[in-house]
């Protein structure tokens, strides 16, 4: 925590530093029940010295689709910060060149992607009466294979409001996508 506080102080007046991604792709020994409490302690310590920073919290590595993309634990254990509006949940998603997930080869692909994204992280925003901002902090693929081009376009459509992947935008006129 002391290192994060030192960095928050050092960059407090630097307008190009907008946030602190507390842990890139938490995985292995940190289930959400441990990680969310650590994120609260670290985030609040940072905000005590630099209240303008976004506190970026990635999902845990348990039951993961991608490292850092399981935010299911937020349902029962949300991260609570002293300045709650500075919280930004973040996820990662990739095409098959990074790791060929089994669902990418499911006959229901790409429609099945909504069934992956929604319960792991998109539920925080999609059809939520109190939506949370979600930052898709890492995504990509060289797009050399057609399957990855389809995945990328599907992710972009989803982030822009096509929650059901049916070609219909579910955003209200005054809403923005993820």
Q: Is 25 a catalytic residue?
A: yes
Cα 51 from chain centre = 21
Instruction: Choose the catalytic residue: 25, 40, 62, 85.
Output: 25
**What 3-state class would DSSP assign to 128?**
coil
Distance CA 160, CA 176 (A): 7
Give the other-Cβ count within 10 Å of 70's Cβ.
25
Distance CA 125, CA 107 (A): 27
Distance CA 130, CA 34 (A): 24
Identify the sign of the CA torsion 35, 12, 17, 178: positive
Distance CA 17, CA 151 (A): 31
**Catalytic residue annotation:** 25, 138
């Amino acid at each position: 925590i002391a290192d994060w506080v030192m960095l928050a102080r050092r960059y407090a007046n630097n307008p190009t530093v907008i946030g602190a991604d507390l842990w890139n792709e938490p995985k292995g020994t940190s289930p959400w029940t441990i990680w969310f409490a650590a994120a609260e302690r670290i985030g609040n310590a940072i905000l005590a010295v630099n209240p303008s920073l976004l506190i970026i919290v990635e999902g845990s590595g348990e039951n993961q689709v991608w490292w850092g993309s399981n935010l299911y634990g937020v349902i029962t254990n949300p991260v609570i910060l002293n300045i709650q509006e500075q919280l930004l949940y973040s996820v990662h998603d990739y095409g098959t060149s990074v790791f060929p997930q089994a669902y990418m080869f499911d006959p229901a692909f790409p429609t099945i992607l909504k069934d992956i994204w929604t319960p792991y992280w998109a539920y925080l925003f999609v059809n939520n009466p109190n939506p949370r901002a979600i930052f898709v902090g890492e995504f990509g693929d060289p797009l050399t294979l057609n399957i990855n081009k389809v995945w990328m376009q599907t992710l972009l459509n989803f982030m822009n409001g096509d929650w059901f992947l049916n070609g219909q935008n579910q955003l209200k006129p005054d809403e923005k996508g993820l």
